[in-house]
Amino acid sequence: QHTTTDTKNIKIFEIRGVSDSRKYGVAARSLKELTRKACQYLRVPVSGAQLCLSSDGTLVTEEGFGSLPEHCELVLLSQGQSWKGVVSELERLLSTDLRLQLVEAVRSLLSDPPSPQRHKLLRDMLRNLDDTSEKETRDQDLQWFTGVDSRFKTKSSYMRFNCEARIRSYMKEVSEASRSIEQAKIRAEFEKTLQTLCHMLKEDQYNGAYFDRTEEEQSRLCTAEGWFTCQGSFDEALCQSLHSINPYSSRESRVLFSTWNLDHRIEKKRSILPTLVHCHKKCSTSGISVDYFYRLLFTRHNLKLVHIACHKKGAHNLQCDPGKIPKKTIRHLSPEKCSTRNSKVTAQNPQAPRSLVEVPSMEKRMRPPS
């Protein structure tokens, strides 16, 4: 008969085997007793058997037994077996190609209190395991379309709309810039430019092809599978962190993608719009290269897709190129449109007035990439 003190020393542990994830509750006062009972449950010879922590494979010693928390999960190792924690569990599932069980295993591990670093790795793994990017229609992937308007039947059509909405918001900001123009005649000329920009955007379908994986390779910013790669901040050629995302893969990734920015290298509010307004004060629409401003505002000529961590919100200190502001002979189409549309030749414009390109506070100039 055990004393009250002995009863208080009893601990309950969750025991499992290496090749079986089923767990058994076993009560014991010592490591020796726990090992013996675990071997009985799992039908493992006591000789050479050991217990280790499920989390990382650390072997349990008699000295360390007393510090183990209640309901600690342990793995019973028979002679010659080893356990590497989470890695062993994932290897077991991967070796049998049981993807659904692997997903459940990761979710189970996430319910434990792991370290923040391990938690992040498991979350990333789960997101990749839940990848349904190969599915395209609403019927095939209802979860992806949660919260998406019912008029969208495919992922690509929604992603195209998503890009168009961003571009439309830029056009709205251009329209609002006319409010700063007090003189009616100048405002009228500016509104002519707005009409031209609107026409060009409609012709290009608001460049929605950038997010549409079904488009031709030269027109989209993603792979045929839907992977987008961060293009780095405005002052870098590449993303140093190698950020990437596939919003087609899951609902969570679709939502996260909304935090990625189509960032203007030459800034819209600090440089492009003030320059455009100033030009109309010095010259009519016919003397301004609307095509140049179109490319700066709405195309990959000046837009970079960037992860939120690579989106620098400080001043870029990049200005419009004064040599490209006067109207030229031909509209320079974006590379992705060259194969589908013909260039439109306009009348040769006389040399622009000197005052047209003398925009205030723009001494430091940097040419945008051509």
Kindly indicate the confidence band of residue 241, based on its pLDDT and cuts at 50, 70 and 90.
confident
Paired strand residues for 229: 244
Tell me how far CA of residue 59 lies from CA of 35, 67, 88, in angstroms: 12, 13, 15
Q: Is 116 helix (H, G, I), strand (E, B) or coil?
A: helix
Q: Which fold has domain 1-83?
A: Ubiquitin-like (UB roll) (3.10.20)
Quote the tokens at residue 46: 């006591």
Q: What is the pLDDT of residue 367?
A: 38
The answer, yes or no, to whether residue 132 has pLDDT greater than 80, is yes
In tens, the pLDDT along 316-368 reads 889 999 989 887 644 444 544 544 444 443 333 434 333 343 333 333 333 34
**Lowest-pLDDT choice from 37-46, 294-303, 308-317:** 308-317
Higher pLDDT, 348 or 230: 230
Q: What is the pLDDT of residue 80?
A: 86
Q: What is the pLDDT of residue 90?
A: 62
- Euclidean distance between CA atoms 109 and 90, whole angstroms: 11
In tens, the pLDDT along 152-174 reads 999 999 999 999 999 999 999 99
Closest-CA residue to 94 (of 129, 131, 132, 66)? 129
Kindly indicate the confidence band of residue 21, based on its pLDDT and cuts at 50, 70 and 90.
confident
Beta-carbon contacts of 101 under 8 Å, excluding residues fewer than 6 positions away, are 93
Per-residue pLDDT, averaged over 22-42, amounts to 93
Q: What is the pLDDT of residue 19?
A: 80
Report domain extents, the chain.
1-83, 157-357
